[in-house]
Structure 1
Amino acid sequence: MERRYASHPNEVKQFDTDRLRKEFHIPALFTPDKLELVLTHEDRLIIGGAAPVREPITLETDLKELGVSSFLERRELGIINIGEHGTVRVDGTEHELSNKECLYVGMGAEEVIFTSSDPEHPAKFYLNSAPAHQTFPTAKATLEEADSSALGDIKNSNDRVIYRFIHQKGIQSAQLVMGMTLLKEGNMWNTMPAHTHPRRMEAYLYFDLPEDAVVIHLMGQPNETRHIVMRNEQAVISPSWSIHSGVGTSNYTFIWGMAGDNKRYDDMDPVSMKDLK
């Protein structure tokens, strides 16, 4: 498991492109038949990917890093499948996940195993894990079952649908909030006007991007913005003090996951367009 430390905004002002990417950009999460994990010290969120092809993948890591005897002893887990049909087995119970379906696994689960139904069309499980103080039951949600809302319009190139899976009024968790935003064809902007939420950090996974397309992910303090070039199936860490917005050369989908002081999706501090620099 790779470790990323937290950074002060005054320090980030001095970062060049290479340093910015090393601190916040996660270039590869879906290596065939391998578990990829990145632990950020921003609210101790773990961002990961499991891409089983020929072999099942078990959720495990060097437990000394977490100070526990099993991965979910003091953690909870959110999973969204961005690939083809697969199965997540939690302590012997199998949960089938198709594309863009979500599974929550509560604190205390001892064994989590990821499997693809067809090696020729493998699943790709995106993972967010946050520290937990209470156990909640394992639960699944499809796109149809998620709390959703349409936002934006084609005039502003941000016509999109937001799906909330793990949140205050949906799948219950200790602190993890997780969902997905789908931009319609011909739309490129997300989360603009921008906002911050100083009480929570966030991570994005961009996917459903054509091979030759990119998303310019905007981050930094509103008056000291920076950008990171993102490609398909890449993730980015957003500290609580940073905006998190983007514009693509094509439409795309992204998964957002948050950890911090509360589970309110709408807990955010708006940033006026005139204040962006």
Structure 2
Amino acid sequence: MENRHASHPNEVKAFDTERLRHEYVIESLFVPGELKLVYSHVDRYIIGAAVPVQETIELKADSKTIGADTFLERREIGIINIGGPGTITVDGSDYELDTRECLYVGLGAKEVLFKSSDSASPAKFYLNSTPAHKTYPTVKTGPSDAFNVHLGSIDHSNERTIYRYIHDKGIQSCQLVMGMTVLEPGNMWNTMPAHTHNRRSEVYLYFNLPEDAVVFHLMGEPQETRHLVMRNEQAVISPSWSIHSGVGTHNYTFIWGMAGENQVFEDMDGIAMKELR
């Protein structure tokens, strides 16, 4: 499991592109036949992916990093499939996940297995995990069942639908909040006007991007912004002091996950456009 340490915003001001990417961008998550995990010291967040092809992949604990015998001994996890159909087996119970469907697994589950239905079109299970203090039930949901809201307009290049999967009025969890935003064709902007939320960190996974398209992800303090060039199926860590916004050369979809002090989606500190630098 790869480790990412937290950085102070005053330090980040001096980072060049290579250092920014090393600290915040996860460039290669979806490796066929493998489980890949990144441990962030920002809110003890774990970001990862499992891409089973021929063989089943087990979610195993890295005891040196998390100090536990099983992955969910002190954690909860949200899983969204962005690939072909597959099955997640939790302590002997099977949950079939089609593309863009979500499964929450609570504290204390012993065995989590990932399997694809078709090796020619493998599932791509994207994972977000946070520390937990209470066991909530394992629950599956999808776009048709999630709380969703349509926002924005083509005039502002941000017409989109936000799907909330794991949140205070949906699938219950200890602190993990997770969902997906789908931009309509011809729309490129997300999360602008920008905001921060000092009480929570956030992670974005950008996907559904053509190979030759990119998203310019904006980060940093509102008066000290930087950009990161993101490509298809890459993730970016956003600490609580940073904005997290972006504009693409093509429309795209992204999964957002949050962890921290509360689970209120609307709890954010808006940044007026005139304040950005």
What TM-score does the superposition give when structure 2 sets the normalisation length? Answer: 0.99
Contact 2:61 2:68 in 1 (8 A): no
Which amino acid in structure 1 is aligned with residue 229 of structure 2? V
Where does residue 218 of structure 1 map in the other structure?
218
1:164 alignment counterpart: 164
Please give the secondary structure, in 1, of the residue aligned with 2:76.
strand
SS at match of 1:263: coil
Unaligned runs of 5+ residues in structure 1 are none
Could you list the per-position Cα deviations for residues 108-131 of structure 1 after superposition, in whole angstroms to 9, with x for gaps in the alignment? 000000000000111000000000
1:12 aligns with 2:12: yes
Is there any run of 5+ residues in structure 2 with no aligned partner, and where? none
Aligned-pair Cα RMSD in Å: 0.5
Q: Deviations over 1:22-80 (max 9, x none)?
A: 00000011100100000000000000000011111100132121111111000000000
Partner of 2:262: 262
Question: In 1, Cα distance between the equivalents of 2:142 and 2:129?
Answer: 19
- In structure 2, how many angstroms separate the alpha carbons of the residues matched to 1:84 and 1:146? 20
Corresponding position of 2:103: 103
- Corresponding position of 2:44: 44
State the alpha-carbon separation in 2 of the partners of residues 33 and 90 from structure 1. 19
| Correspondence list, 1:1-277, <5 A | 1-277=1-277
In the TM superposition, residue 4 of structure 1 has moved relative to its aligned partner by 0.1
Identity across the alignment (%) = 67
The whole-number CA distance in structure 2 between the counterparts of 1:84 and 1:263 is 30
Moved over 3 A (4+): none
User: TM-score with structure 1 length normalisation?
Assistant: 0.99
| Cα distance in 2 for residues equivalent to 1:99 and 1:194 | 29
> Partners of 2:82 and 2:231 in 1: how far apart?
15
Return the letter of the residue paired with 1:229: V
Listed one character per residue, the Cα deviations across residues 147-196 of structure 1 (whole Å, up to 9, x for unaligned) are 00011000000000000000000000000000000000000000000000
Retained in 1: the 8 A contact 2:33–2:57?
yes
1:29 alignment partner AA: L
